[in-house]
A and B are shown apart, each in its own frame.
Chain A
Amino acid sequence: MTAATKPSPAADTEADGDRLAATARARDKQKSWFKDFQHRAIEEGEPYVIAAAVSPHEIFHAMDVPLVTNTWYSSIIAAKRLSPHYFDLMDRLGYHHDLPRYLSLPMMTTLDGNPEKAPYGGLPRPALILDRLRGDYAQRITAQWAGAFDCPAFYLDTPSQTRLVPDWWNHAQRNWEWLYESHRLDYQVEQIEALIGFSEGVLGRKLNRDTLAEEMHRINEAGELAAEARDLIAKARPCPVALPDQLTNVMAATWNRGSQWAVDHMRSYVEEIQQRVDTGYGICGNEKVRLLWINTGLWFNTGFYRAFEESHGAVFVWSMYTNFFSDGYRKYFDDDPLRALAARSISMNEQLHLPPWMAGWILEQAEAFGAHGAVMLTPQGDRLSAYGTEICRTSLEKAGLPVLELSASMVDARLWDDAEMQRQVGAFIDTRCKA
């Protein structure tokens, strides 16, 4: 079989016929979230917070404070193909080419001082920037960005796990005190208490801890539904839900975690999948090969996930976004929601990147989903995202799961060679993935 040569279907036009109704609702929710944010923070000047993706957003949700993540704004900049403009600015300002650029794009819109160019007129001055100090550069970007805004920054440090038990996902929901190590959780709770005190002072609002506890319970409830969805998709033959639909629905619930909307949405998502399973519906009528997508999502080209269905009968059935919400976010608790919140954010990235946590979890998914191979995306120019990928790849291969590694820029769509990437994946399916 020859490699596919058709361009990947664009995300907005991909196989509309098999898109879930829930997906449209998830997109509508994200649009309404943005309108609300735009009205409150941009038009009305209400204090808002910029926060790292992996940080305790729940505090601000419970305080009813508008919040955006730097990654969200980065993705908007990239999607609007404005990255090259800000790359040029980085060059002019003296930031060298090797630096990871994805997370710095929002800061560049501020340094640029050109609201007509920036998406939505640029972000206004926040009341606070919150960052979690994974890696060594987050503190630098945040400090410089806060300096440009003349606003305060708050840093959550990252106490390190001393032992990596192989099956973290079996302990992360109910046995997290043991899994994440008590001394780390003690410290994380102290940090979050300090964050609450600092935020209350800056924002002029008081955290209602009962509200926080209710949110935390709802996150667990939504996480259970995400687990149900994952199980349905994993067991079904053929695959009933395309990966872009999985991404859209689960991520919408993740960003809106703690809300009743997220619970209701995940319930409708599960029901719709169940209906498809009951009728034997498959997104690819010729499904022969089932693939996993490992590492960062291909956000600017989600149509790529579907490019091999017609040509190869190959379906991407899983990525980490399929069930990280259920496996990583759920934290059951009796009487201490803050400690459960500490447990949620304390090892979030590590679970996805550290050997043996990364490889072990992926192998578990490969077995559950009946995968024949995996495609691993390694972002170019991003050392932090590359750590652990080599040992993960070799571990998966040793366990019998073929892996293809693709290297690509995550922020500059111009550098994505769709035909070449399709050729590589197509050859990988042909030569290494046996149904």
Chain B
Amino acid sequence: MSAGPAHRLEDIASIYADREAEARRFYAHGGRVIGVLGATVPTELITAAGMFPLRLVGDPARGTARSDAYMEPVREGYLRAIVEKLLAGDYGFLDLIVVPRSSEGLLQFYYLVEHIRTTEPELRLPALHLFDLLQTPFDYTARYVRARMEELRTRLGGIAGAPISDKAIADAIASHDAARRGFGTIVARRRTTPPAISGTTALRLAGCGQVLPVDALAALIAEAVTHHETIVPGPRLMIKGSPQEHDGFYRAVEATGATIVADDHDWGETLYETPVGDSDDPMQALVAHCMTHRPSPRRLPQEAVDAEFIARVRDAAVDGVIFALEAHDDTLGWDYPAQKRALEAIGVASILLTGQSYWSIDDRTQTDIATFVRELSR
């Protein structure tokens, strides 16, 4: 797959603002684009097949006029927003959408959209593929996931017009790992005192990596490591919790004088944290990586997940953690009390913001953030 035109650092904002543009260009030049949801699809397989993996993003500005007819208001905002775009015909350029079973919301998205596709064929929705990623830490689960990943490999090969070889997969893993290592340098730069890169820029870069060919991301990161933002020292924060698909929350936080030096959600730095690594069996390496190293609310055991979180807090020398949980969260809130206690044990402050809207940031949230940052600044 061609990396397309080289991007400059100044392009980050525009790439981030229109995260489908690069994929549409690829499609316009005869390439095949595969949509993915969430952070756990083995996009290396798509790269290996010479196709473009595009992580789908909703648009809060477009509302939910169409999707409301199918989706309960308690569903995840980002999934309601993506269904809105699906129903509006935005995704006609996709050959397939791969949906991982790494959250109940994603699984229910698959069933819902499959149902609409079946009962309303006139909508011409793209085909879906459920990647049934299970994450219990058992050998039989790993075997099950391996078989499901082989099915995905076969389907992608069918779309690409040729089987995907082990060598192509190993090469794709090497490319994605290079990008992961490159992102590690971005993480290091946001960790300096004062930080050399803002949280908003880091979030945008992480997001660009989900919508650019992997080689283009590597080039963008190579340029970004020379970038230096002038950041007035202020409280060092981590954002943790529900997906931060857009940068509005980050901008609101950093407007108070704090800097986001770390994050722990599925659009942030944890996407790039652990390389897949070299292996004689690249498919098995991908299985292990998808099951245990990609951001997902179903990772087990929770003690290990929490230990990673605290290690990141220490590594980033964080002053405070903002737990931002979406409205109707039924999952991450169960983790919060133990995580809060762990933070207290190492003297790190935190604030819990529940009921967060996908569509906008309300006044109360703005006030709570400002108060938290002001207290940290004392």
Residues of A within 8 A of B (CB): 93-100, 133-137, 139-141, 143-144, 155, 157-160, 162, 164, 183, 187, 190-191, 194, 354-356, 378, 381-384, 386-391, 394
Interface of A is mostly: loop
For the complex with contacts A94-B340, A386-B72, A390-B69, 14 further pairs of A-B residues with Cβ separation under 8 Å are: A96-B333, A98-B329, A136-B103, A136-B298, A137-B331, A139-B302, A155-B300, A158-B134, A160-B130, A164-B114, A191-B138, A354-B108, A378-B72, A388-B108
B74 at the A/B interface (Cβ < 8 Å)? yes
Closest B residue by C-beta to A189? B140
Q: Are B132 and A98 in contact (CB under 8 A)?
A: no
Q: Are A96 and B336 in contact (CB under 8 A)?
A: yes
Chain B nearest CB, measured from A82 CB (Å): 21
Proximity bits, B313-353, A CB within 8 Å = 1, else 0: 00000000000010111110111111010000000000010
7 A-B contact pairs sorted by A residue (CB < 8 Å): A136-B330, A143-B301, A157-B134, A160-B110, A164-B114, A383-B330, A391-B70
Question: B132 near A140 (CB under 8 angstroms)?
Answer: no
CB-CB under 8 A from B138, the residues of chain A are 157, 191, 194
Using a CB–CB cutoff of 8 Å, the interface residues on chain B facing chain A are 69-72, 74-75, 101, 103-104, 107-108, 110-112, 114-115, 118-119, 130, 132, 134-136, 138, 140-141, 144, 147, 297-298, 300-302, 325, 327-331, 333-338, 340, 352, 354-355
Residues on A with C-beta less than 8 A from B103 are: 136
Assembled-state Cα–Cα distance A96/B333 (Å)? 6
- With a CB–CB cut-off of 8 A, which chain B residues contact A133? 136, 298
**Interface majority SS on B: helix, strand, loop or mixed?**
mixed
Contact of A99 with B334 in the complex, beta carbons under 8 Å: yes
A407 to chain B, nearest CB (A): 10
* A93:B337 contact, CB within 8 angstroms: yes
CB nearest neighbor in A for B109 = A387
Chain B nearest Cβ from A424, distance in angstroms: 19
List of A residues within 8 angstroms of B134 by Cβ: 157-159
B338: nearest chain-A partner, CB-CB:
A144
Complex Cα gap A93–B335 (Å): 11
Bound-complex Cα distance A34 to B186 (A) = 60
Which of the residues A99, A143, A382 comes within 8 Å of B333, measured between beta carbons? A99
Q: What is the chain A residue whose CB lies nearest that of B138?
A: A194
Given the known interface contacts A98-B355, A384-B104, the answer about A140 and B334 at a Cβ–Cβ threshold of 8 Å is yes
Whole-angstrom distance between the Cβ of A296 and the nearest chain B Cβ: 15
Q: Does B330 contact A384, Cβ atoms closer than 8 Å? A: yes
Task: Judge whether B325 and A160 touch: CB under 8 Å.
Answer: no
Q: How far is the CB of B172 from chain A (nearest CB, A)?
A: 25
Do A390 and B70 touch across chains, with their CB atoms under 8 A apart?
Answer: yes
Q: Once the chains bind, are A144 and B334 in contact (CB under 8 Å)? A: yes
Q: Which of A140, A187, A387 contacts B140 (CB 8 A)?
A: A187
Q: Are the C-beta atoms of B108 and A387 separated by less than 8 Å?
A: yes
With a CB–CB cut-off of 8 A, which chain A residues contact B75? 383, 386-387
Contact assessment for B333 and A394 in the assembled complex, using a CB-CB cutoff below 8 Å: no
CB-defined contacts of B114 to chain A, threshold 8 Å:
164
Alpha-carbon separation in the docked complex, A354 to B331 (Å): 20
Return chain B residues, CB-CB under 8 Å to A378. 72
For B334, what are the chain A residues with a Cβ–Cβ distance below 8 Å?
95, 99, 137, 140-141, 144
Do the beta carbons of A391 and B147 come within 8 Å of each other?
Answer: no
Q: A143-B302, A387-B108 are in contact. Are A97 and B354 (CB under 8 A)?
A: yes
A162 touches B132 (CB 8 A): yes
Most chain A beta carbons < 10 A, residue from B69, B115, B118 = B115
> What are the residues of chain A within 8 A of B111 when measuring CB–CB?
164, 354-355, 388
Tell me if B101 and A95 are in contact (CB < 8 A): no
A37 to B115: give the CA distance in the assembly, Å: 44
Complex Cα spacing A339 to B147, Å: 20
> CB distance B336 to A391 under 8 Å?
no
Q: Chain A residue with minimal CB distance to B334?
A: A140
Across the A-B interface, give the 4 residue pairs with the lowest CB-CB distance, nearest first.
Answer: A94-B337, A140-B334, A136-B331, A190-B140
Report yes or no: A95 in contact with B333, Cβ–Cβ below 8 A: yes
A156 to chain B, nearest CB (A): 8
- In the assembled complex, how far is the CB of residue B90 from the closest CB belonging to chain A, in whole angstroms? 21
Q: Are A194 and B140 in contact (CB under 8 A)?
A: yes
With CB as the reference atom, state the residue of chain A lying closest to B299.
A139
Report the separation of the CA atoms of residues A356 and B117 in the bound assembly, to the nearest whole angstrom: 12
Are A356's CB and B144's CB within 8 A? Answer: no
Q: Name the residue among A159, A164, A389 with the largest chain B CB count within 10 angstroms.
A: A159
Known contacts: A136-B298, A157-B136, A386-B74. The answer to whether A394 contacts B328 by CB under 8 A is no
CA distance A384 to B74 in the complex (A): 9
- Tell me which of A157, A160, A383 contacts B74 (CB under 8 A): A383
Which residues of chain A have C-beta atoms less than 8 A from B69's C-beta?
Answer: 390, 394
Q: If A160-B130, A162-B130 touch, does A382 touch B141 (CB 8 Å cutoff)?
A: no
Whether A390 contacts B144 by the Cβ 8 Å rule is no
A136 touches B72 (CB 8 A): no
In the assembled complex, the Cα of A169 lies from the Cα of B333 at a distance in Å of: 37
Q: How far is the CA of A394 from the CA of B68 in the complex (A)?
A: 11
Chain A, residue nearest B136 (CB): A157
A160 to B74, CA, bound (A): 22
Question: Is there contact, CB below 8 Å, between A140 and B70?
Answer: no
Q: How far is the CA of A147 from the CA of B104 in the complex (A)?
A: 24
Q: Are A96 and B354 closer than 8 Å at their CB atoms? A: yes
- Known contacts A98-B330, A100-B330, A386-B74; A159/B132 CB under 8 A: yes
Cβ contact within 8 Å between B333 and A160: no
Beyond A94-B336, A137-B330, A191-B140, whether A160 also contacts B107 by CB under 8 A is yes
Query: A187, B354: Cβ atoms under 8 Å?
Result: no
- Minimum Cβ distance to chain A for residue B298 (Å): 6
Residues from chain B with Cβ under 8 Å of A135 in the complex: 104, 330-331
Residues of A within 8 A of B337 (CB): 93-95
A390→B72 contact, CB < 8 A = yes
Q: Is the CB of B112 within 8 A of A136?
A: no
Chain B CB within 10 A, most for which of A164, A355, A381 = A355
Chain A residues within 8 Å of B115, by CB: 164, 355-356, 391
Q: A95-B336, A144-B334 are in contact. Are A391 and B112 (CB under 8 A)?
A: yes
Q: How far is the CB of A138 from chain B (nearest CB, A)?
A: 10
Q: How far is the CA of A354 from the CA of B111 in the complex (A)?
A: 7
Q: How far is the CA of A139 from the CA of B135 in the complex (A)?
A: 11
Cα separation A95 to B330 with both chains bound (whole Å): 10
Q: Decide if B329 touches A96 in the complex (CB within 8 Å).
A: yes
Contacts of A143 in B (CB 8 A): 301-302
Closest-CB distance, A385 to chain B (whole angstroms): 9
Interface centre among B107, B112, B119 (most CB of A within 10 A): B107
B residues near A190, Cβ cutoff 8 Å: 140
A355 and B112 within 8 A (CB): yes
Q: List, in ascending order, chain A residues with CB within 8 A of B108's CB.
A: 354, 387-388
Could you tell me the distance in whole angstroms from the C-beta of A130 to the nearest C-beta in chain B?
A: 13
Taking CB atoms, residues of chain A closer than 8 Å to B301 are 143
**Contact between B328 and A383 (Cβ–Cβ < 8 Å)?**
yes
Query: Could you tell me the distance between the alpha carbons of A387 and B330 in the complex, rounded to whole angstroms?
Result: 13
Distance from A75 Cβ to chain B, minimum over Cβ atoms (Å): 20
- B135: chain A residues within 8 A (beta carbon): 157
Q: Is the CB of B330 within 8 A of A99?
A: yes
Distance between Cα atoms of A355 and B116 in the complex (Å): 9
Contacting pair B72 A387 (CB below 8 A): yes
